[in-house]
């Protein structure tokens, strides 16, 4: 389920603001709405080192949790020089400089539309909405099917 474009853009702005505040470099945002069925925006940022990659990932996780945005998955194991966070309609990749050069995600998504970072961050026309986390369907169905318990006296 994709968010509407304004919500996705606000989520991308939230991610970029968090990365920028923690000194991520060369942040690039690519709108892949027309190219991808799984995400609307790809955010790519550069960290100075593996510990900086970790710090950026942790900060991004805190910001998304605080805003009640759903995090689908996180991968950034060890000293790989790369962390990725799937925030559903925004996919964030954080690289060390060498790893970013090696994988060249910007080239892979070159058919996407570049979103100017300055315009995105200063865009206050699209408010950042706090979205409720989705309830797991299995629990919701189990609650609905469970018969009401009667009080028993023993």
Quick check: is 154 in a domain?
A: no
Quick check: is 12 in a domain?
A: yes
**Contacts with 6 (C-beta within 8 Å, 6 or more apart), sequence order:** 126
pLDDT band at 120 (very low <50, low <70, confident <90, very high): confident
Query: Which two tokens mark 31?
Result: 């709108």
Beta bridge partners, 107, equal none
Residue 118 CA from chain centroid, whole number: 19
**Domain count along the chain:** 1
Quick check: is 22 in a domain?
A: yes
User: pTM score, two decimals?
Assistant: 0.76
Mean pLDDT of the chain: 81
User: For the residues 116-137, what does the mean pLDDT come to?
Assistant: 58
**DSSP of 36-64:** -SS-SEEEEEE-SSHHHHHHHHHHHHHHH
What is the separation, in whole angstroms, between the first and last Cα of the chain? 49
Give the lowest-confidence range in 40-49, 97-106, 116-125: 116-125
Quick check: is 59 in a domain?
A: yes
d(C-alpha 31, C-alpha 50), whole Å: 27
Residue range of the domain that includes 61: 5-145
What CATH code is carried by the domain that includes residue 121? Answer: 3.30.460.10
pLDDT over 90 (residue 4): no
Quick check: is 152 in a domain?
A: no
CA-based torsion, 67, 72, 76, 81: positive or negative: negative
Quick check: is 153 in a domain?
A: no
**What pLDDT, in 10s, does the model give residues 89-98?**
999 999 999 9
pLDDT value of position 117: 87
Quick check: is 128 in a domain?
A: yes
Residue with the bigger pLDDT between 38 and 119: it is 38
Quick check: is 131 in a domain?
A: yes
């Amino acid at each position: 389920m994709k968010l509407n474009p304004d919500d996705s853009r606000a989520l991308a702005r939230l991610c970029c603001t968090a990365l920028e505040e923690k000194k991520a470099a060369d942040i690039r945002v690519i709108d892949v709405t027309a190219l991808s069925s799984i995400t609307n925006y790809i955010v790519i940022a550069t960290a100075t080192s593996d510990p900086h990659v970790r710090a950026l990932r942790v900060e991004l996780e805190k910001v998304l949790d605080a805003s009640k945005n759903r995090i689908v998955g996180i991968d950034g194991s060890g000293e790989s020089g790369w962390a990725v966070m799937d925030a559903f309609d925004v996919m964030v990749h954080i690289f060390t400089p060498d790893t970013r050069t090696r994988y060249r995600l910007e080239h892979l998504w070159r058919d996407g539309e570049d979103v100017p970072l300055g315009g995105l961050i200063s865009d206050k026309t699209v408010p950042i909405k706090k979205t409720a986390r989705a309830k797991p369907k299995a629990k919701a169905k189990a609650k609905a099917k469970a018969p009401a318990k009667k009080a028993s006296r023993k």
